[in-house]
């Protein structure tokens, strides 16, 4: 049985005057209904390009797209523009980062929702308007029957984002793509929006892809996590697993460069040195190698010459990583975790001292 959404070896390359920009380079993942996939990465890592390709938003003359995007076994890259247009907004919908620029300033919020609804449903204007009010109410906008005639600028940031969500969900899409849905919002509003997305997901059993650079948002929302760097997936697996036992130095870097509201105040932030590479000429070998603190642990300079495959590491078949490091778990447990979360490290330590007792003696003897 294949997945609800299955992306296979997706490549999106943009030919430019300076060369080919490999914005997305061989991306594969699966997503089931009712599940949430978090895609994490810095600006320019290819997360938005990948998802807008799923919506068919790239003109074929401008972008070279290859691979497969199977939505319920139908390849979205093979269907005609006309068919894609019918799917877009009905089966697959998107919530954009900045609702002020994603909404039309000349049309009332209600009109825009009505338009999205009537494109896919043969209903009267009146029925569509009722539906729009119902959706605004559903996403928690007060007095929806009055606000439906307001223009986007009359809404606050959080309300605009709610209206965007209402617009996205008006046709009950089975796949919802949220591109940085809360980045422009304050934390209390962000919490409201994330709660709303989760409630709606339960109700409609939709699949959600949430693109973000905030690992905290991923931790709260996602079932699976895909970490992207320079157009490629560098780590992919279940959310808890990736956040507790990351195996790729870039993920370590993301975790250790973000301060937290809990935990040790004096823990020093460990930034990732340098900046993300240009996608025109990504570094040879592993794209992360110029910024990686651990590349010297790999013998034979392989990080600089040979691109690692995205393969399961030592933690089972579901946790994929793209890294040459032989013992990432060991490095994470002994070097990274004590730095970023001494309390967690201590917990791990305790857990480990208990297990060797039954396994044998090799590590247990050291701490008597």
Name the one range near another protein by CB under 8 A: 131-139, 261-269, 328-336, 353-361: 261-269
How many residues touch another protein (CB under 8 A)?
Answer: 51
Token couple for 361:
């003696």
Q: Please report whether residue 159 would count as binding another protein according to CB under 8 A.
A: yes
Cα separation, 119 vs 136, in Å, equals: 18
Nearer to another protein by Cβ, of 187 and 326: the residue is: 187
Residue 19 contacts another protein per CB under 8 A: no
Smallest Cα–Cα separation from 158: which of 133, 131, 187, 116?
A: 187
231 near another protein, judged by CB under 8 A: no
Q: Looking at 78, 125, 202, 268, which residue binds another protein (CB under 8 A)? A: 268
Distance, CA of 161 to CA of 193 (rounded, Å): 8
End-to-end CA separation in angstroms for the chain: 51
Binding segment for another protein (CB under 8 A), chosen from 106-114, 143-151, 255-263, 309-317, is 255-263
Stretch of 79-87, 125-133, 191-199, 293-301 lying at the interface with another protein (CB under 8 A): 191-199
Task: Tell me the closest approach of the beta carbon of residue 343 to another protein, in angstroms.
Answer: 8
Shortest Cβ 265–another protein spacing (Å): 6
Q: Which residue has the tokens 């320019």?
A: 44
By CB under 8 A, tell whether 287 contacts another protein.
no
Could you list the residues that contact another protein (CB under 8 A)? Answer: 42-43, 142, 156-159, 186-192, 194-195, 213-220, 239-240, 243-244, 253-263, 265, 268-273, 275-276, 341, 344, 347
């Amino acid at each position: 049985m294949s997945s609800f959404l299955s992306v296979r070896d997706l490549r999106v390359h943009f030919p430019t005057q300076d060369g080919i920009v490999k914005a997305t380079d061989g991306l594969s993942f699966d997503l089931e209904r009712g599940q949430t996939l978090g895609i994490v990465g810095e600006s320019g890592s290819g997360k938005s390009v990948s998802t807008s390709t799923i919506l068919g938003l790239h003109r074929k003359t401008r972008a070279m797209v290859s691979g497969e995007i199977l939505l319920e076994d139908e390849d979205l890259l093979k269907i005609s523009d006309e068919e894609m247009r019918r799917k877009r907004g009905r089966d697959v919908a998107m919530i954009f980062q900045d609702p002020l620029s994603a909404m039309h300033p000349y049309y009332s919020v209600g009109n825009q929702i009505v338009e999205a609804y009537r494109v896919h449903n043969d209903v009267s204007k009146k029925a569509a308007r009722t539906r729009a009010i119902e959706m605004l109410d559903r996403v928690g906008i007060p007095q929806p029957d009055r606000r439906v005639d307001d223009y986007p600028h009359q809404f606050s940031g959080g309300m605009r984002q709610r209206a965007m969500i209402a617009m996205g969900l008006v046709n009950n899409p089975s796949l919802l793509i949220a591109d940085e849905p809360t980045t422009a919002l304050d934390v209390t509003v962000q919490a409201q929006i994330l709660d709303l997305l989760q409630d709606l997901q339960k109700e409609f059993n939709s699949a959600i892809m949430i693109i973000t650079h905030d690992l905290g948002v991923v931790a709260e929302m996602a079932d699976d996590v895909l970490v992207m760097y320079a157009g490629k997936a560098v780590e992919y697996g279940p959310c808890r697993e990736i956040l507790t036992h990351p195996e790729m130095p870039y993920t370590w870097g993301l975790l250790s460069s973000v301060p937290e509201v809990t935990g040790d105040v004096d823990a020093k932030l460990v930034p990732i040195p340098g900046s993300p590479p240009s996608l025109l000429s990504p570094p040879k070998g592993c794209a992360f190698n110029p910024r990686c603190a651990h590349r010297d642990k790999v013998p034979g300079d392989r990080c600089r010459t040979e691109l690692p495959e995205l393969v399961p590491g030592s933690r089972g078949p579901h946790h994929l990583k793209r890294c040459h490091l032989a013992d990432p778990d060991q490095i994470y447990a002994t070097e990274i975790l004590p730095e970023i979360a001494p309390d967690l490290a201590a917990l791990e330590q305790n857990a480990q001292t208990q297990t060797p007792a039954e396994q044998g003696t090799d590590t247990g003897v050291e701490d008597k």
